[in-house]
Structure 1
């Protein structure tokens, strides 16, 4: 993990499919969620305001409450919300610690654990929401070792 730092992330809007699913169904979920979110954004003539993200609203156990999608510029929120009200999520401002994972997604758990330990070492406590921002998205010919994912853990 690299780049641990504490920052304030401003309030923003996410177009995402929020579901509670079995943790072993995450890949299928993300395929559906990202496709549905991008189609909703493009249907109003917009583009995502940043890379794909996954927000976790519960601990990652056998079942997880998560939302996978894309941030949206404020000027398009009303149009997307009118057509897809279930996909629009307003994320409040959060104080977070962020870190960067380089490598395959199946090693994200190790990096998350390192980040959580770093938070504890700082004498901080995690808040209710965690998210991943996929700086590089996988493609069929991409090398998993080249994947970059930024991690965000809210702080109380």
Structure 2
């Protein structure tokens, strides 16, 4: 797991945002991805990236979360049955690729946060996970690949 610093381009996303109790997180993800996939098919949008979970603040017992996909062929502001097309902002970020079970994501985020602090950088306040591989129910969770993205605050 190596941390890299990068500049992200803004991305057009189709997604569902909600504040979800932590025990309902998995069900929210499943529902949101299904809804976005259905909306993309209905509206003619093309899914152009892996599923993501965009956390708007640090989770507690409740999680302010947007889940969806980067899309092409959709205009900002469009919506379809609760799925909104909006922009995921770009900018400076630290990125870490985690390979393994989702159970290891907490440790991976801790490592990324330690790297951020060691570099003297400040996070923007939001962060996201991109689920590069689509985990299969009978697949090996140790082969999951998740891209952790920590946007950085940049002084004006």
TM-score normalised by length of structure 2: 0.91
Matched, 1:140 2:102: no
Specify the alignment match of 1:92 in structure 2. 89
Once superposed, what is the RMSD of the aligned Cα atoms? 1.7
Which segments of 5 or more consecutive residues in structure 2 lack a partner in the other structure? none
TM-score normalised by length of structure 1: 0.91
Specify the alignment match of 1:101 in structure 2. 98
Query: Deviating runs (4+, > 3 A) in structure 1?
Result: 82-86
Whole-Å Cα distance in 1 between the matches of residues 109 and 93 of structure 2?
13
Whole-Å Cα distance in 1 between the matches of residues 22 and 124 of structure 2?
21
> Do the aligned partners of residues 79 and 129 (structure 1) sit closer, same or farther apart at CA in structure 2, a change above 3 Å counting?
closer
Which protein has the bigger helix share? 1
Query: What are the superposed Cα offsets for residues 48-106 of structure 1, whole Å, 9 maximum, x if unpaired?
Result: 11111110001011111001110012xx1139815457521212222100001111112
CA contact (8 A) 1:41 1:80 kept: no
Specify the alignment match of 1:149 in structure 2. 146
Specify the alignment match of 2:42 in structure 1. 43
Whole-Å Cα distance in 1 between the matches of residues 92 and 150 of structure 2?
8
Which segments of 5 or more consecutive residues in structure 1 lack a partner in the other structure? none
SS across alignment from 2:5: strand
1:102-117 equivalent positions in 2, closer than 5 A: 102-117=99-114
| Count of residue pairs brought into register by the alignment | 153
